Amino acid sequence: MTAAGLRLRATAGSEWIKFRSVRSVPAALLATAVVVVVGGLLVTAGFRSGWSTMTASERATFDPTFQSLHGVELAQLFVGALGVLTVTGEYTSGLIRTTFAATPQRAQVLAVKGLILGGVVWVLCTVASFAAFFAGQVVLTAPARHASLGDPGVLRAVFGGGVYLLLIGLFGCGVGALLRRTAAALAALFGIVLVLPIAVALVPGVLGARLNEYLPSTAGMEFWTVVRTGGDALGAWPGLAVFALYVVATGVAALLLLRRRDV
Amino acid sequence: MGPGFSFPRPRRRRRRGSYCLGMIEAHGLTKVYGDTKAVDGLDFQVKPGRVTGFLGPNGAGKSTTMRMILGLDLPTSGAVTVNGQGYRGKVWPLREVGALLDARAVHPGRSAYNHLHSLAAANGIARARVDEVLDEVGLTSVAGKRVGGFSLGMSQRLGIAGALLGDPEILMFDEPVNGLDPDGILWIRTLMRSLAEDGRTVLVSSHLMSEMALTADHLLIIGRGRLLADTSLADLIGRHSAERVDVRAADAPRLAGDLRAQGAGVSVEPDGTLQVTGMGAVRIGEVAAARGHVLHQLRDVTASLEEAYFRLTDDSVTYRAPAPGTTEFAGPSPVTAASAPSAGPRAASRISEARA
């Protein structure tokens, strides 16, 4: 193995030990999985019991896949916080100095941190998304409409739940590395992901709607939506691309700043 | 781990290329924060086989310098190399340099073992070494405990275990005895001495001269970011201990007047002792005999290391409480200058008198 390869393997080994040796990490991951499944169950059960009171147009635009994955919206709080804390936790304790003294290849450290978190979140949340989807479709008994994996766009949307949470986790890492303080990074992340869409919705007319499409979370959600209601939506793949662009841009900015900043 | 332990390792001073292994070298090292020069053009070498004390008042730039050595802070100008190479360019730095900057800089939820294991893994250090260093610092029994519950002394030992992990030639400790009990202080002192005797390079920072006097062979003294002295401990005492003679006499006020008339600087202590500068004991005795004085005591006083240190850093203390009232002095003298600013040096000079 080359020297660079050995260095990368050592960084990965070290970060993996760190990742798995703190109790809060498995706790947050377990909470994420539970929220994805239980959240989906609650939402679909609500639609099932309210089906008789829904109007014809509401029934026509009902998206059984999206609704069964609704827990993802709640789970992004856990995944985003986990992403932020993975990075800021080292800064607030001062451990980052020990980390960078052991591995002066800072960009590699941050990239590996992101990859480990992202990998674990992706696997877990993909499994949780499938579980939530199947549980949701079981709940949605006739006369309510339900979806199956073979329907157009459904498989992509169910995978989309895991992909969306993976990107939220990475977004959290990037914002955490940029701001380095837990409170500031959490506020910024959830401000962008949760509050910004609400604020932009207050902008009147077409402008508000157009802006909203290009917000990170709105664009990202497109990837786990099957039935679109309005005309003003980016669509699944463009939506994913826009969201990923935000995440990549944040990550690149964090990596560039990391080289020059004092710790 | 008691105070009597040592590291049974061979002497390890080797040469590699044109530089001596185990050297830290700074050239014009400068760090500016806003409009404050935290470190101002430092030039120094830290050499193997001895404990180098990095000494200066709080805020003098010691920690900033150490962070620059470790590549954590980038110098505004100048450079510092470790083993002839910048730290940021190293692939396995823990095998060359072990550092303890802040004992509390750990994740409180991680066990001591996992903390060290992650560090070892980051530098390709065998896992067995984790058990070794845990044993060396006496933390084996708490290896599986979360470090959040550790006392400061235990955290300090864990930090030192991390520094020893890569069996490095160079070790750096930033204020390692702060907040430790006497047992822990003695342990760290013994450890640093034995590491230096092993042929390793040991750089230890402190704001306490008294601590350095017990551990260091060589001193780098800085104040307001500038290098004030790069000297061996013995030289420092020799160069900066302004001599003074303490005199007790039957008629102290009259003797004071007679000595001043001969050009000496005299200050009268509350207990009637005269502190005489600028005149040796022999000449004082002659003057006293010529004027018919009865002397009760005539004694040379050597300034303590503490005084030498205060004299050096006197102008460079960044933060200081206002000086308390001081005794009246007849004339400016090195000793009075050193004793004036605070109660500390005065107390120190008392101690040195008691020893003299």
pLDDT per residue as tens digits for the range B257-314: 999 999 999 999 888 899 998 888 889 999 999 999 999 999 887 666 777 787 777 7
Q: Give the confidence band of B339 by pLDDT, cuts at 50, 70, 90.
A: very low
pLDDT score for A2:
86
Determine the angle formed by the axes of helices A182-190 and A71-93, rounding to 10 degrees.
Answer: 160
pLDDT score for A3:
86
The answer to whether the CB atoms of B122 and A97 lie below 8 A apart is no
pLDDT score for B331:
35
Longest dimension (CA), chain A: 66
pLDDT score for B93:
97
| Nearest chain B alpha carbon to A263 | B72
The answer to whether the CB atoms of A18 and B118 lie below 8 A apart is yes
Residue A50 burial (10 A CB sphere; 0-12, 13-18, 19+): exposed
Distance, CA of B149 to CA of B130 (rounded, Å): 20
Q: Please check the confidence at residue B124 and state whether its pLDDT lies above 50.
A: yes
Structure-model confidence comparison of residues B107 and B16, the more confident one: B107
Chain B interface includes A19 (CB < 8 A):
no
Distance, CA of B119 to CA of A130 (rounded, Å): 37
**Does residue B95 contact residue B72 with C-beta atoms inside 8 Å?**
no
Distance, CA of A71 to CA of A38 (rounded, Å): 7
Q: Please check the confidence at residue B20 and state whether its pLDDT lies above 70.
A: no
B78-to-A234, B43, B75 alpha-carbon distances in Å: 52, 9, 6
pLDDT score for A232:
64
Listed in sequence order, the residues at least 6 apart from A191 whose beta carbon sits closer than 8 Å to its beta carbon are none
Question: Pick from B73, B97, B119: which is nearest to A98 by CB?
Answer: B119
pLDDT score for B322:
57
**Does residue A149 contact residue A158 with C-beta atoms inside 8 Å?**
yes
DSSP secondary structure letter of residue B35: T
Q: Give the confidence band of B315 by pLDDT, cuts at 50, 70, 90.
A: low
Q: Give the confidence band of B352 by pLDDT, cuts at 50, 70, 90.
A: very low
Residues of A in contact with B117 (CB under 8 A): 17, 21
φ and ψ at A42, to 5 degrees?
Answer: -65, -45
The answer to whether the CB atoms of B70 and A263 lie below 8 A apart is no
Secondary-structure percent of chain A, ordered helix, strand, coil, rounded to 5: 80, 0, 20
Q: Give the confidence band of B341 by pLDDT, cuts at 50, 70, 90.
A: very low
The alpha-carbon gap from B169 to the nearest alpha carbon of chain A, in Å, equals: 15
Q: Give the confidence band of B344 by pLDDT, cuts at 50, 70, 90.
A: very low
The answer to whether the CB atoms of A93 and B122 lie below 8 A apart is no
The answer to whether the CB atoms of A89 and B93 lie below 8 A apart is no
Distance, CA of A161 to CA of A78 (rounded, Å): 14
Structure-model confidence comparison of residues B313 and B137, the more confident one: B137
| Residue ranges of chain A with per-residue pLDDT less than 70 | 230-232
Q: Please check the confidence at residue B195 and state whether its pLDDT lies above 80.
A: yes
The answer to whether the CB atoms of A21 and B110 lie below 8 A apart is yes
pLDDT score for A230:
65
Using a pLDDT cut of 70, give the percent of chain B over it. 80
ipTM: 0.92
**Does residue B81 contact residue B44 with C-beta atoms inside 8 Å?**
no
The alpha-carbon gap from B308 to the nearest alpha carbon of chain A, in Å, equals: 34
Residues of B in contact with A87 (CB under 8 A): none
**Does residue B219 contact residue B232 with C-beta atoms inside 8 Å?**
yes
Q: Please check the confidence at residue B59 and state whether its pLDDT lies above 50.
A: yes
pLDDT score for B319:
56
Distance, CA of B229 to CA of B42 (rounded, Å): 11
pLDDT score for B277:
86
Average pLDDT of chain B to the nearest whole number: 83
φ and ψ at B97, to 5 degrees?
Answer: -135, 130
Judged by DSSP in three states, A78 sits in helix
Distance, CA of B21 to CA of B8 (rounded, Å): 20
